[in-house]
Amino acid sequence: MNNVVLVGRLTKDPELRYIPGSGTPVATFTLAIDRDYKNKDGSTTTDFIPVEIMGKPAEFCANYITKGRLVGVQGSIRVDRYETPNGEKRTFTKVAGRNIQALESRGSAAPGSVSGTTNNDAYDAPSFEPSGVVSPSEFSAVDDDDVPF
């Protein structure tokens, strides 16, 4: 099973491109993720993880995710192998993202982080509005002595 979930901050705005022929959108970016322990000197090591995401999530990245934003990414680890023009064989490891979620609004980015835009309005995330509001008085308590726990 190859499944990874990462939470980190974007190091710069995502780069969006389209695959020639199919026109599929592809967004690439790097996540900065602090390790969960401190070094002997008290500092924290940060890993920089390359991420590539395709399709509608890529368009979401390009439109709403900016430098410094905290995001959650679900995907899988991919290892690409290639050969340089000099004949050297190289490998490149990245996360092939399937889903991405913004974990904070633009206005609540970490102190010192840069949002990448001049507009610091809150992120307009889709909201859920219930269609029929039900009053708590419309519910009745269950009076049953045969509760299984």
Q: What is the pLDDT of residues 50-78, one digit of tens each?
A: 999 999 999 999 998 999 999 999 999 99
Give whole-number Cα distances, 121 to 10, 58, 62, 117, 132, in Å: 18, 22, 17, 10, 30
- Residue 118: what pLDDT? 34
122 backbone dihedrals φ, ψ, rounded to 5°: -65, 150
**Of 108, 18, 27, 118, nearest in space to 69 by CA:** 108
Report if pTM > 0.85: no
Q: Residues 123-144: pLDDT tens digits? A: 444 444 444 555 555 555 555 5
Query: Could you state, in order of their start, the residue ranges of all structural domains in the chain?
Result: 4-138
Better-scored residue on pLDDT, 106 or 117: 106
Is 3.40.50.300 the CATH classification of the domain at 4-138? no
Question: DSSP 3-state helix, strand, coil percentages of the chain (rounded to 5)?
Answer: 10, 45, 45
CB atoms within 10 A of CB 87: 6
Q: What are the tokens at 52?
A: 């590539």
